């Protein structure tokens, strides 16, 4: 297999499982807890976040390298990324509003959460701060997005089962969800050392 | 690149991005929501399960909802 492609796949797996954005880096906790009550809404939130992360990285990396650095104004990266992410979320929201009523019903009030999801800004900022090349940045973005999707869907399955089980009253809702997240983080810790 | 040119590029980049954001925001606001979904509310079942008694999203007639009505 082509070694470049293998490196890309390993980078994706690393960002997805070993350095998982939610359970290892603790980014994006707000939508992780807020939209994980039902599997369907969790899945579509994960897909939307993945899409925003990948497209934001796709736009931001060339913008940083060829506009901000070339012009000698790399310190303006954060504000540029925020504007790119906010615009992307509006565009994705627009498509959902226009073309998919069921999705709009499921995600409508939660879509703006993506703009304030620090996972998106964290990945885009990290791509440039770590000095990744374009391929590395895309692998990081795809892996992080898929990692978020995987974790939020798994978490929503567990929460649905918890809703149907006899959780003590004091632990119902967010407390048991946070305990579950902690146990999942421990489980994901087992992936350490998978990619050398 | 000179300092003036860098400032000019910075201003152009910011203005362009803000303009794109404003255009997408206005188009999003002006796009009518699908029929029957004009006023999206949180799922009432979810709200009833939720133990937060003072949440303003609770349906009217329940603890939080009453507070909203009285407010």
pLDDT in tens for each of the 196 residues of chain A? Answer: 678 888 889 889 988 999 888 888 888 887 788 777 788 888 988 888 898 899 999 999 999 988 888 888 888 889 999 999 999 888 888 888 888 888 887 776 777 777 777 888 999 999 888 888 999 999 999 999 999 999 999 999 998 888 888 888 888 878 888 888 899 999 988 888 776 6
Q: What's the gap in Å between the CA of A108 and the closest CA on chain B?
A: 7
Name all contacts of B15-23 with Cβ < 8 Å and 24+ positions apart: B17/A80, B17/A83, B17/A84, B17/A87, B18/A83, B20/A83, B20/A87, B21/A83, B21/A86, B21/A87, B21/A90
Interface test with A, best of B10, B12, B57 (most A CBs within 10 A): B10
Neighbours of A9 (CB within 10 A): 14
- Other beta carbons within 10 angstroms of residue A41's beta carbon come to 22
Distance of residue A76 Cα from the nearest chain B Cα, in angstroms: 8
Answer yes or no: do A173 and B27 touch at CB < 8 A.
Answer: no
Whether A73 and B6 lie within 8 Å, measured CB to CB: yes
Distance from CA of A94 to the nearest CA of B (A): 5
The answer to whether B16 faces chain A, any CB pair under 8 Å, is: no
What ipTM score was computed for the predicted complex, to two decimals? 0.73
């Amino acid at each position: 297999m082509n070694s470049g492609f293998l490196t890309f796949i390993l980078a994706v797996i690393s960002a997805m499982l070993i350095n998982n954005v939610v359970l290892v880096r603790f980014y994006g906790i707000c939508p992780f807890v807020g939209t994980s009550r039902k599997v369907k809404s969790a899945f579509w939130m994960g897909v939307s976040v993945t899409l925003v992360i990948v497209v934001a990285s796709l736009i931001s990396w060339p913008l940083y390298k060829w506009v901000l650095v070339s012009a000698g104004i790399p310190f303006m990266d954060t504000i540029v990324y925020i504007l790119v992410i906010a615009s992307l979320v509006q565009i994705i929201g627009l498509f959902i509003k226009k073309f998919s009523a069921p999705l709009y019903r499921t995600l409508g009030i939660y879509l703006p959460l993506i703009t304030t999801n620090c996972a998106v800004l964290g990945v885009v900022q990290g791509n440039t701060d770590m000095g990744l090349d374009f391929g590395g940045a895309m692998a990081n973005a795809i892996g992080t997005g898929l990692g978020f999707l995987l974790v939020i869907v798994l978490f929503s399955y567990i929460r649905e089962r918890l809703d149907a089980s006899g959780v003590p009253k004091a632990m119902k809702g967010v407390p048991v969800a946070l305990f579950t997240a902690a146990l999942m983080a421990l489980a994901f810790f087992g992936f350490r050392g998978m990619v050398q | 690149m000179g300092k003036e040119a860098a400032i000019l590029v910075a201003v152009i980049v910011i203005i362009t991005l803000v303009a794109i954001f404003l255009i997408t925001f206005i188009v999003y606001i002006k796009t009518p929501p699908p029929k029957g979904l004009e006023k999206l509310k949180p799922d009432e079942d979810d709200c009833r399960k939720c133990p937060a008694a003072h949440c303003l999203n609770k349906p009217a007639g329940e603890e939080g909802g009453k507070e909203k009505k009285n407010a």
